[in-house]
Amino acid sequence: MFDELLATYPVVVRQAVVWGEMDSYRHVNNVVYFRYFENARLEYFRRLDWPEFERQTGIGPILAATQARFRRPLTYPDTIAITARLGTLGEDRFTLEHRIFSAQLGDVATEGQGTVVTFHYGRGEKVPIPDELRRRIAALEAGDSRR
């Protein structure tokens, strides 16, 4: 069931839930979920080869907003799959949709998204998403850059 759903995401990061992520209420602390999203977001950027693109152009990503809906608590031990895929694509920003799947629960634990703005760090301002980056996003979403 989950394999079919995971196949709809170009980026899936699998990792263990570790003991140190738990809080005094014996579940993963809410802050940690945003780190999980970050892991998938950074893998998405890596597959776009955005770090090299930024070195060449000065245009990098900046996280403008993020949100999460906590559906089921994660606990240790567990293995999770954290996903990322394009939600919307605008002039100077795009959203990444995330889900966190729990092997232990056999269900989606968390849903969320992040809004990423293209930012020229040398000039200190947001800029339109370059055509080359749009091409890379389209290729990744089409499955051409899966690794």
Sign of CA dihedral 129, 91, 134, 97: positive
pLDDT number for residue 45: 98
pTM over 0.85: yes
The pLDDT tens digits for 35-65 are 999 999 999 999 999 999 999 999 999 999 9
The pLDDT tens digits for 67-112 are 999 999 999 999 999 999 999 999 999 999 999 999 999 999 999 9
- Please name the amino acid found at residue 66: T
Q: How confident is the model at residue 144 (pLDDT cuts 50, 70, 90)?
A: confident
pLDDT number for residue 147: 44
Six token digits for residue 33: 């979920």
Q: Cα 24 to the chain's mean position, in Å?
A: 27
Q: How confident is the model at residue 4 (pLDDT cuts 50, 70, 90)?
A: confident
DSSP conformation letters of 28-58:
B-HHHHHHHHHHHHHHHHHHTTHHHHHHHHS
Report d(CA 132, CA 25) in Å as an integer.
Answer: 46
- Residue given tokens 């949709």 in the structure block: 97
Helix, strand, or coil here: 66? strand
Q: How confident is the model at residue 5 (pLDDT cuts 50, 70, 90)?
A: confident
Superfamily of domain 2-141: Hotdog Thioesterase (3.10.129.10)
Kindly tell me if the per-residue pLDDT of 146 is higher than 70.
no
pLDDT number for residue 145: 55
pLDDT number for residue 3: 81
Six token digits for residue 69: 């809906």
